[in-house]
A and B are shown apart, each in its own frame.
Chain A
């Protein structure tokens, strides 16, 4: 009993150790050598601790931000940045997040094995982020412990299976039938962008005939983009809000210079978090792939969105710019709509907008890319604001999740959680079954149209 108590309280409730144990199990399952297993496990644990360290830097840099928005604009201001909110959430929800991520992967494997929707979601950081959304929303609604893990795991596995399936008809068009799927949790934005492209893009020529200067390369460096955005936002806000708004922080230094330093510090925090995420995923993703290959050898891997970029690099730039315009216009609508002020984050707009551009271009050329991504930009402005209510205490942080699927899944889960534990179980299973059935239908239809069989490239 004492031993069990110790394991539960001192090991399983310590997120870094829990994540380490999961990696250890995966590495042993794949029969890795002793040295690989030891280094892999240690790296995952250290990576998780690095991520937590980054979250402290971020929360320090974010705290004056709220004061400035409140004083200058009289609103609750938020910059959606997944890495920031996820890092902040690990303090209270780390253990549940880790368990939900592991269970979600298992549920994804089972669904891929027994239904026609054979997609394995391999974008590790998005699984991690979605697991965080579910842990936070369920936990804040009072569903905790084993119930939280099981419901969260079922939902994560379902979403990881269905979103690649729903996007896949368009994905085939984008990649010319390449043997991989899209595993990225802004899929709602891509489906809408592709549908809009279909509707508006008759006879519109492809974006790839436009010449783009190679000078825009810096856009691809997400750390530079994030830091630059935060500096601009901080300095502009400081000027609007005035020195008095952050006098408790500046300790006599110049308030504009202080704001500039905080913007830079936010970038440093993100860099640290990213390093932690990199160390965790370097072990976990290949382990997931190895296990998936053994259990569902004929499945398609669902991969991160930049894998679509080489198929239409110009559409990425068109999509990013259009999405950002949508985000900026959306920002001005937030106050009148009575929502929190969502300031566009460059990273979500670049990756989500860029991918929406690729999808819009595939169905509707230039016009499709521009209009489809613009709609995506509006979508990832309004949805994050609606999600805040479901995040409990974390909804008061000055950052939130930035991609469409995190938001709609979070809002839906919040609604499910409100019905109490029994209701939540029933609704989770019903909703998941309906979604999986739909995803299976879509997949069967797509496969009928193309008789080629797809498999992992092992």
Chain B
């Protein structure tokens, strides 16, 4: 399974998202590749799940991949709540 964390540059906020995702996955005992991408590259990248903020979510809506929208990038509870149902499908 590959999860893509997306932001404008691909190494700032998405890096924060990636670290939060990885710690939630560790808690859930799930192994997955978590990569970061900028919005331009994200459109061309393949992934099973995309995690990003609401502004980018609309731009990635046509990818036919579940897109998870996060408000607080470091909040593990928010991440877990939104990510768990999708990864455990």
Contact = CB atoms under 8 A, between A and B. Distances in A.
B15 A285 contact: yes
A285 B13 CA distance: 12
Interface string A300-334: 01011111011101000000000000000000000
B12 A457 contact: no
Given A274-B38, A310-B54, A304 B16 contact: yes
Interface string B1-19: 0000001111111011011
Interface in B14-46: 15-16, 18-20, 22-23, 36, 38-40
A224 interface: yes
Nearest to A290: B19
Interface in B48-62: 53-56, 58-59
Contact of B12 (A178, A220, A306): A306
B8 A222 contact: yes
Given A217-B59, A224-B40, A457-B76, A313 B11 contact: no
Interface residues of B, number: 31
Interface string B73-86: 11110000000000
Contacts of B10: 274, 278
Contact of B74 (A217, A274, A457): A457
A457 B71 contact: no
A301 B74 contact: yes
A221 B39 contact: yes
Contact of B11 (A217, A220, A221, A278): A278
A306 B12 CA distance: 8
Contacts of B9: 125, 222, 274
B70 interface: yes
A281 interface: yes
A124 B9 CA distance: 12
Contact of B53 (A301, A303, A305, A310): A310
B40 A221 contact: yes
B74 A180 contact: yes
In this complex, the member of B13, B15, B38 whose beta carbon has the largest number of chain A beta carbons within 10 angstroms is: B15
Nearest to B9: A222
A180 B19 CA distance: 13
Contacts of A180: 73-74
Contact of B16 (A303, A313, A351): A303
A203 B12 CA distance: 34
Contacts of B72: 175, 178, 310
Contact of B15 (A124, A214, A222): A124
A149 B73 CA distance: 33
Contact of B8 (A175, A221, A311, A313): A221
A221 B56 CA distance: 9
A458 interface: yes
A277 interface: yes
A261 interface: no
Contact of A223 (B18, B40, B59): B40
A179 interface: yes
Contacts of B53: 306, 309-310
A286 interface: yes
Given A274-B11, A285-B19, A303-B73, 4 more contacts: A274-B10, A286-B15, A309-B53, A310-B55
Closest 3 CB pairs of A and B: A304-B12, A306-B13, A310-B71
Interface of B: 7-13, 15-16, 18-20, 22-23, 36, 38-40, 53-56, 58-59, 70-76
